Structure 1
C-alpha cells in the first residue's frame, strides 16, 4: 500500500523536482517506509511515491519503477493479488524479473498486453504509468474503486495523486469550489463518482483507465458491472450449490489476501460479514488470527461483547478498545485533513480509532466491507421492500392518500416522508432515505440555488437505477449501492481512516469474482422476506453457532445526536455560528441557525444535517480560509 503522485506539464516555469518532492511528501502517512521520485525535465513529467512495504521488503521494490529499457515507468498504490500467477505467465513469455513484488508485474503485463492488462489484475490498485515511447500517461483504478486516484486537468497540465492534498501542492492548482458537487455532498454526504469538491478536479472512475497524450484525456472502461449483470441470466443453481460455490470463492479470496511479508489481522465487529471473513481466515491459517474490535460505553451502540464471543469461539488473539467521547472529539478535528473533501459519514470516527489501535499490532487488516450491498443487508432495503406497493399506486391516489398524511402527521420527519411518497418517481423515496437533508431544505440552505434531484440527475445514483434492466426493486437498489454508496462512502471511509494510520485494509468480499457471482444470484438466496444475507449466514453457520449471530443489526455508529446537544455543542456553536456562515456567502445563516436551535431544543433530530454542515465548515476552515 502506498501513496502516489505526479504531473505532466509540457510547458512549465517552476522547479519540477521540488514540486514532485513536495507533493509526494504530503502522502507520508500512506507510505512511511520509503520515498522515491523520478523526473524527465525535457518533457515536464514527474512521478512520486511513498511506500508502505508489504511485499518484498527489500530495496528491489522501490518506486518509481521502470522496465529494463527505462521507457516504461510506473507508480502504484495497492495490491495485485494474483501477481504470482501473472509473473509465472510472463516469465514463460521470456520476461525476467529483478524483484519479488507486484509492481514489476504491472510493468511487464503492460508491455505484453497493453491496457488490457488491467482486465487481468485481481486486486485493489491505483496505477500511473508513463509510456515514453508513445508519450502517453495512463491512469487506472481497480474495478470497485478500493484505491483512490484523483486528477486535476487544465490548460494542458495534468496532476494526479492518491489524495487531493498532494495535488493542491502543484503550483498550477487553483482552489475553487465546484458548487454542483457541493450540492451533491449535502445530499449524499460525499462527493460522488468522478466528481471532486474543487473545479477542474476529478476522480478516475472505478473500473476505468484514462489516457492523456499531452492535449486530450480519454476515458476507457475495462469492467462494467452493470453491463455484466444486465447481460447475464440469474444463476439457475440451487441454494445449496450456490452456497458451495460462494464458500469456495470466499476461501480463494481470503487466501489471496493472506499473502504478506508483514503481520496481518482482521477487523471483527461481531456482525455477519466480518465474522465470516475471520472464520475463513481461522480455517486457512494454523496460527491464531489477530482480531480487533471497537466498543462503546453506551449500550445502544456497543457490539464489542458480540465480537468477543465470536473471537472466543474461533480462538483468535483478540484486542478491543472501548472509546470515550473525548477520543472521538480529538478525532473529529483531524477529519478534514484526513479526507481532503467534506465527508459526512460519522462512522469515520470509530473507523479511524479501530485502525489506529490495529496498527499497533499489525500492518495489514482484512475487513468485511461489501456484504451489505452484495447480500441485501441494509435496513433501508427492508424499508423499501415494505413500501413497494406504493410504487404501483396511480399518481392521483398517491397525492390523495399521502397528501392527507402530510397535513395531519406530527413532526417534520414524517411530513417530509409523506411528501416523498407522493412523488411519481418511486426512486425519490430511496433518495429521501439516503439523503442527509430533508426534501426542500437544500434549496433553503443555498438561498434558492440548489435542488437535490437536479444535483443527482447526471450521476450513477440515478442512472444505475434506470439502467438496471429487467430487475426487481431490491436488485436495483443493491446495484445502486455497489456503484455509489460502497464506492463513494464505505471504501473512501476505510481507505482514508486506515491509511492515515499507515495500515493496509483488504476487502475479501469485494474480490470481483464474488461481486459478479453475488449480484447474479436470485434475490431469494439473499433475502427471503424475513432474513437478510441468507446465503452468507448459511455459510457462516458452518463455522460459528447460529445462536451467536441471531440478534438485531446495530451498525457501526456513534451517539452523535446526543453528543451534539452536550459534549459537541461548543463545536456546533463555533462552526455553525450564523454570522460566520453569512460572511462566507455560500449558505443561509438564519436557516442553519433554525436547524441547530430546533435540534438543541429536542424538537427534531437534525443530526445528519448539522453533521454535514459541521464537516463542511471544518473542511472550509482547513482548506479555504
Structure 2
C-alpha cells in the first residue's frame, strides 16, 4: 500500500487533535505486526491511535519488521505523547524543529521556516561550501539553521514536551558466510527476486535509465526475465562519454522499447543549468535529463523509474587492499593462489588521499579562505556500512523522490534493499574486485550472474565513461552563462567562496579542467538565488 501525500503537523499542547499519518510505501509485515498494519490500512479513530501508540511504545522494534519505505507520525492529544519514525529504506527527508511549546515536523523544510523570513537568511553558512564541493551533509543535519532531520531507522519519542531519539534499525554484518562464488550469486539472485515480487504490482510498468553499464543493464535484464513490463531510456552523450553502443546492444538483446535523450541539445540551448525553484539544492546538472525522462514515462504510461542506483557499492569496490590471511579464509585454496598470482602483475589501486580528492576542479577560482577551510577538514574513506546507512538520508534523493511522486511516478531501486546491503557486507573483497590479465575486474558477481544472458560486449567492458567530458563541452560553449551566474554579484562571491575575478581570467583549458566544479557551483548559486525570493509560511 502507498500514500504520497505531504506529511506535516506538530506535537504539543496546542494540538487538540490526535492523528496518525504516514507517507511512502509499505510492502509487507510479519504476523506480529498485523495489528499495527491493520490500523495503518484503515481509518483511525482516537481509540485506535491510542492502541497503536501503546503497542509501539511497549516494543518500538515492531516497526523495523514492517517492510517498506515510509514515514510514520502518531500523536495522542490526551496523553500528549507522539512518535515520529523513518524506516530504514525511506528516502523522504523528515525535518523537525523544536520550539518551546511544540515539536514541528514536515517532509517539506519550507514548512518549518518562520512566516515572512526569507529562506536564504536561514541557511547554515557552513554547509554552502560543502554543497559547492558536492559533499553530503550529516544524516541528522539540514541546510537550515535550527532545523534537523530524523535519520533512517530512527524513532523520535515525544512525551509532554520531552524529545528523545533512538536508532532501532541498522545493518548487521556477517549475515552470509560462504566460500563459493556461486553461493553468493544464488543468494543475491533470490534477494533480488524477493524484492521484485514484494514491490512490483501487476499493473506496474517500469522505465529503466539504461546507461549500458553492468548495473542498469542487469536490472533491465532481470526485470525482463521476471516478465515485468519494461522499457529503456538512454541519456546519450557524444564523444568519449558516449555509451550508446552498449545501451542499444542491451535493449536489442532484451527486445524492449528504447528511447534516447540527446544531451547535446542542452549544450546548444544552454539549458543544462536550469532555473531552480526548489527549497533544496541539486548540485549537479542532471535534473533536466530527469525532467525529459519523466516526459517519456508519461507518454508511454510507465509509472515507475529504475536506475543502476547503488550497484557500484553493492557489487563493486573502491579498494584492492586484501590480506593474504583473509584471502585464504574466504576463498577456495586454488582460487586464492590464482588471485595472488594475478595480483602480482596488476597495478595497485591507491586509497583516497587525505586532501579533498577533487580539489583540481576548484583551486583555480575558490578564494584562499575557502581552500584553507577545505584543507582543514580530514577527508577519509567511509566504511561500506556507513555508505549504505547514508543512502536513505541524501537530500538530493529526497528531492527527486518528491519530484517524481508529484508527477505520478515512483522510483524502483532494485539494489536498495537491506538484505542486499547485508549480503554485500559479507561478500569477500576478492569477489568484488579480482585481478586478471593485468587489470582489476570489478563486480564479479554481476558479471558471472549475467554471463550468457547479457551481450558479451557488456560483460567484457571494464572501464568507466569520462562523464566530465560533457561538462567540459558545456562550460566552453556556454562560457557567458557561467560567467553571468558566477559573477561579482553572486551569493557565492559575496560569501567569500568563489572569486569571480579569477573565473573571468580563466582560459578555455582551465575552464575545461574545472568544468564539473563550475557546474556544481552554478547549481548552488541558482539555488541560493531562488531562496532569496522565497519566504517561510505559517508554522505547521
TM-score, normalised via structure 1 length: 0.68
1:99-498 matches, within 5 Å, as 112-114=55-57, 115-132=60-77, 134-168=79-113, 175-213=121-159, 215-225=161-171, 228-229=172-173, 232=174, 235-259=177-201, 261-285=203-227, 289-296=229-236, 298-326=238-266, 329-330=270-271, 332-334=273-275, 336-338=276-278, 340-360=279-299, 361-376=301-316, 381=318, 385=320, 429=353, 432-433=356-357, 444-446=368-370, 450-451=373-374, 453-454=376-377, 465=382, 476=383, 478-484=384-390, 487-488=393-394, 491-492=397-398, 494-496=400-402, 498=404
Residue 532 (structure 1) shift? 0.7
Q: Aligned in 2, Cα 1:96/1:374: closer, same or farther, shift over 3 Å?
A: closer
Tell me how far apart the structure 1 counterparts of residues 428 and 232 of structure 2 sit (CA, whole Å): 34
Residue 98 (structure 1) shift? 6.7
For residues 483-532 of structure 1, give each alpha carbon's deviation from its aligned partner in whole angstroms, at most 9, with x where no partner exists: 44774277346425534644210112111111111111111111113211
Q: Aligned in 2, Cα 1:198/1:522: closer, same or farther, shift over 3 Å?
A: same
Tell me how far apart the structure 1 counterparts of residues 471 and 294 of structure 2 sit (CA, whole Å): 20
Residue 182 (structure 1) shift? 2.4
Match of 1:570 among 452, 477, 480: 480
Could you say what the CA RMSD is over the residues aligned between the two structures, in angstroms?
Answer: 4.0
Tell me how far apart the structure 2 counterparts of residues 126 and 8 of structure 1 sit (CA, whole Å): 14
Residue 602 of structure 1 aligns to a residue in which SS?
A: helix
Larger relative CO (CA 8 A, sep 6+): 1 or 2? 2
Residue 565 (structure 1) shift? 1.8
The answer on 1:539 being equivalent to 2:449 is: yes
Residue 140 of structure 1 aligns to a residue in which SS?
A: strand
Residue 331 (structure 1) shift? 5.8
Residue 563 (structure 1) shift? 1.0
Tell me how far apart the structure 2 counterparts of residues 9 and 106 of structure 1 sit (CA, whole Å): 14
Match of 2:15? 43
Q: Aligned in 2, Cα 1:492/1:538: closer, same or farther, shift over 3 Å?
A: farther
TM-score, normalised via structure 2 length: 0.78
Tell me how far apart the structure 2 counterparts of residues 431 and 501 of structure 1 sit (CA, whole Å): 41
Tell me how far apart the structure 2 counterparts of residues 172 and 486 of structure 1 sit (CA, whole Å): 29
Tell me how far apart the structure 2 counterparts of residues 217 and 97 of structure 1 sit (CA, whole Å): 24
The answer on 1:6 being equivalent to 2:8 is: yes
Tell me how far apart the structure 1 counterparts of residues 146 and 202 of structure 2 sit (CA, whole Å): 38
Match of 1:619? 527
Gaps of at least 5 residues in structure 2 are: 324-349, 534-540
Tell me how far apart the structure 2 counterparts of residues 364 and 433 of structure 1 sit (CA, whole Å): 35
Residue 156 (structure 1) shift? 3.7
Q: Aligned in 2, Cα 1:542/1:617: closer, same or farther, shift over 3 Å?
A: same
Residue 612 (structure 1) shift? 2.7
Tell me how far apart the structure 2 counterparts of residues 144 and 217 of structure 1 sit (CA, whole Å): 23
Match of 1:405? none
The answer on 1:514 being equivalent to 2:420 is: yes
Match of 2:25? 79
Q: Aligned in 2, Cα 1:297/1:242: closer, same or farther, shift over 3 Å?
A: closer
Indicate conservation of the 8 Å contact 2:95/2:105, yes or no.
Answer: yes
Q: Aligned in 2, Cα 1:123/1:433: closer, same or farther, shift over 3 Å?
A: farther
Tell me how far apart the structure 1 counterparts of residues 27 and 37 of structure 2 sit (CA, whole Å): 22
Match of 1:397? none
Match of 2:538? none
Q: Aligned in 2, Cα 1:96/1:163: closer, same or farther, shift over 3 Å?
A: closer
Q: Aligned in 2, Cα 1:74/1:315: closer, same or farther, shift over 3 Å?
A: farther
For residues 529-553 of structure 1, give each alpha carbon's deviation from its aligned partner in whole angstroms, at most 9, with x where no partner exists: 3211111221122532433432233
Indicate conservation of the 8 Å contact 2:272/2:288, yes or no.
Answer: yes
Tell me how far apart the structure 2 counterparts of residues 599 and 344 of structure 1 sit (CA, whole Å): 24
Q: Aligned in 2, Cα 1:109/1:349: closer, same or farther, shift over 3 Å?
A: farther
Tell me how far apart the structure 1 counterparts of residues 82 and 41 of structure 2 sit (CA, whole Å): 24
Match of 2:517? 609
For residues 531-587 of structure 1, give each alpha carbon's deviation from its aligned partner in whole angstroms, at most 9, with x where no partner exists: 1111122112253243343223327777112211213x23322221124458x7411
For residues 329-379 of structure 1, give each alpha carbon's deviation from its aligned partner in whole angstroms, at most 9, with x where no partner exists: 446324x324x23332333442343234223321222333111111225xx
For residues 439-476 of structure 1, give each alpha carbon's deviation from its aligned partner in whole angstroms, at most 9, with x where no partner exists: 7986625496x34544xx6xxx86x84xxxxxxxxxx3
Residue 602 (structure 1) shift? 3.4
Number of paired residues? 493
Tell me how far apart the structure 2 counterparts of residues 587 and 595 of structure 1 sit (CA, whole Å): 14
Gaps of at least 5 residues in structure 1 are: 12-41, 46-70, 389-425, 466-475
